[in-house]
């Protein structure tokens, strides 16, 4: 029997007739009023328990939203233990409830200003969903219905302070290391042109020397006078370049230095003999 009654209640929840054992409200009105607006300046709308308001209400920064209603159990006004205006922010799912102050006869009111709202509500891009929850102890069916939408109009000059998000243990965005750019060469054509220009300096130099009368005519004379000294000295000059070439390609410094030393000693000793021969030629007026 009892369950039958409850079945009937569930079916009639949306009907206008409030049955004995079901919580609802009547004489409900909602108004948004500012301090500047007078008594008549407030916008006021009627709320019905069965259908939400179609257009969203706007709540400007300085104004306050006021809901007045009479909670009823069945058709008589009675104080419900729980009479909440619940605001729900659809993107974050955050909910905040504002209790009505209800008198013994069921008359209740609640006032909400932007100061009462958490910052998530103030920064929400979508309108908040407001619902009315009226319930109490006992077996009467509780009431919980969407009543209206509320869009928050924040003051552009005084934007709400958004605190930095609290620390949570979660995976963090990936970091991919940005490498410095590799060193680049200029276009190969330019390098080639300048290489050719540098290489062309050698024939130019040799040509200039030839014009000035440079020759190797005394080579036989010099080698006849002191063949060993000249051979070793000129050989050591070439060998030194060879050592440098090996250092550039395969050797390290510790392999190159003894070789430089050895070639240097040979060059020094043979060089002093060879240059003596050159001096003899000079003194003989052949240079």
Residues 132-161 that bind other proteins (CB under 8 A): 133, 135-139, 141-142, 144
| Residue whose token pair is 């008359």 | 107
Q: Does 231 bind other proteins (CB under 8 A)?
A: no
Buried-exposed string 17-41: b where 16+ CB fall within 10 A, e elsewhere: ebbeebbbbeebebbbbeeeeeeee
Q: Does 39 bind other proteins (CB under 8 A)?
A: no
Question: Residue 220: helix, strand or coil by DSSP?
Answer: helix
C-alpha neighbours within 13 Å on the C-beta side of residue 287? 14
Residues of this chain, 67-96, that bind other proteins according to CB under 8 A: 79, 81-84, 86, 88, 95-96
> Near other proteins by CB under 8 A, which window of 39-47, 60-68, 146-154, 185-193?
185-193
Buried-exposed string 142-166: b where 16+ CB fall within 10 A, e elsewhere: ebebebbbbebeeeeeeebeeeeee
Element (H, E) at 70: strand 64-73
Q: Does 226 bind other proteins (CB under 8 A)?
A: no
Q: Does 38 bind other proteins (CB under 8 A)?
A: no
Buried-exposed string 206-223: b where 16+ CB fall within 10 A, e elsewhere: eeeeeeeeeeeeeeeebe
Question: Which residue lies nearer to other proteins by CB, 144 or 154?
Answer: 144
> Near other proteins by CB under 8 A, which window of 35-43, 146-154, 181-189, 258-266?
181-189
Question: Which residues 6+ apart lie within 8 Å of 137 measured at CB?
Answer: 81
In terms of C-beta density within 10 A (0-12 exposed, 13-18 middle, 19 or more buried), how is residue 179 classed?
exposed
Q: Which of 92, 101, 113, 272 binds other proteins (CB under 8 A)?
A: 101
Q: Which of 159, 205, 257, 262 binds other proteins (CB under 8 A)?
A: 205
Question: Which residue lies nearer to other proteins by CB, 244 or 260?
Answer: 244
Q: Does 257 bind other proteins (CB under 8 A)?
A: no
CB of 24 to other proteins, least distance (A): 14
Which phi and psi (to 5°) does residue 182 adopt?
Answer: -65, 150
CB of 285 to other proteins, least distance (A): 6
Q: Does 162 bind other proteins (CB under 8 A)?
A: no
Question: Which residue lies nearer to other proteins by CB, 234 or 266?
Answer: 234
Question: Which residue lies nearer to other proteins by CB, 179 or 254?
Answer: 179
CB of 69 to other proteins, least distance (A): 14
- Size, binding site for other proteins by CB under 8 A: 79
Tell which residue, 17, 94, 33, has the closest CA to residue 68. Answer: 33
């Amino acid at each position: 029997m009892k369950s039958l009654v409850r079945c009937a209640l569930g079916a009639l929840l949306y009907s206008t007739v409030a049955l004995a054992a079901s919580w609802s409200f009547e004489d409900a009105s909602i108004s948004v009023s500012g301090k500047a607006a007078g008594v008549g300046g407030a916008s006021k709308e009627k709320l019905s328990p069965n259908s939400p308001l179609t257009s969203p209400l706007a709540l400007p920064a300085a104004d306050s939203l006021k809901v007045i209603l009479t909670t009823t159990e069945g058709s008589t006004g009675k104080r419900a233990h729980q009479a909440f205006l619940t605001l729900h922010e659809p993107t974050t799912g955050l909910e905040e409830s504002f209790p009505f102050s209800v008198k013994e006869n069921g008359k209740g009111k609640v006032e909400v200003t932007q100061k009462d709202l958490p910052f998530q509500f103030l920064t929400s891009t979508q309108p908040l969903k407001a619902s009315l929850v009226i319930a109490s102890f006992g077996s009467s069916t509780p009431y919980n219905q969407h009543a209206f939408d509320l869009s928050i109009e924040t003051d552009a000059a005084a934007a709400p302070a958004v605190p930095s998000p609290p620390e949570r243990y979660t995976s963090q965005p990936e970091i991919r290391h940005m490498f410095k750019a590799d060193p680049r060469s200029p276009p190969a054509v330019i390098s080639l042109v300048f290489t050719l220009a540098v290489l062309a300096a050698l024939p130019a130099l040799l040509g200039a020397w030839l014009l000035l009368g440079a020759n190797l005519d005394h080579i036989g004379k010099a080698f006849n006078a002191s063949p060993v000294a000249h051979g070793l000295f000129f050989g050591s000059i070439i060998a030194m370049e060879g050592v440098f070439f090996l250092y550039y390609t395969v050797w390290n410094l510790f392999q190159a230095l003894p070789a430089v030393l050895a070639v240097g000693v040979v060059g020094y000793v043979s060089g002093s003999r060879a240059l003596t021969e050159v001096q003899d030629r000079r003194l003989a007026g052949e240079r």
